[in-house]
Structure 1
């Protein structure tokens, strides 16, 4: 059975997104990248935007100034609203 990928996007005000996704994409200092199922553990500062590909293949984009993305055990956590 294929593992599931879950995304939780958190702001200072609360949870903006919490659910299963097909993939998550963003940009860090190295350039654009994608997170898919079975991604290795990963933590990064992200910028510009967060692109969410939902299970129905619909795309949702969230603008990002600075955020932290953490990937561990099929869970992607994004913490928006961090300061440099």
Structure 2
């Protein structure tokens, strides 16, 4: 699936991923390929990006919104910390 992480200032990440773990306001959750369509608010916390073959990236966001639709995940983050 395709993941984009965008802040008001820049595009932080863009590419194909196997999974992404997100800090939802109601608790953390994971998005995998063929996930049901959702829109959710995000809390401040860690975003774990699994690109496959044991390649993992971690980002800390300062809240935001995520949309999942047709194997495309768009994270609109307030800011990326660090």
Say yes or no: TM over 0.5.
yes
Mapped contact 1:26–1:32 kept (Cα < 8 A): yes
**Structure 1 residue 64 corresponds to structure 2 residue 61:** yes
TM-score of the aligned structures, taking structure 1 as reference length? 0.84
Q: Which runs of 5+ in 1 are unaligned?
A: none
Which one of 61, 71, 75 corresponds to residue 74 of structure 1? 71
Q: Greater Rg, structure 1 or structure 2?
A: 1
Question: What TM-score do the two structures reach when normalised by structure 2?
Answer: 0.86
Distance in structure 2 (CA, Å) of the matches to 1:62 and 1:12: 16
Q: 2:3 aligns with which of 7, 27, 44?
A: 7
User: Who is 1:41 aligned against?
Assistant: 37
- For structure 2, the residue ranges without an aligned partner over 5 or more in a row are none
List 4+ stretches of structure 1 deviating above 2 A: none
What residue number does 2:21 align with? Answer: 25
Q: How many corresponding residue pairs?
A: 78
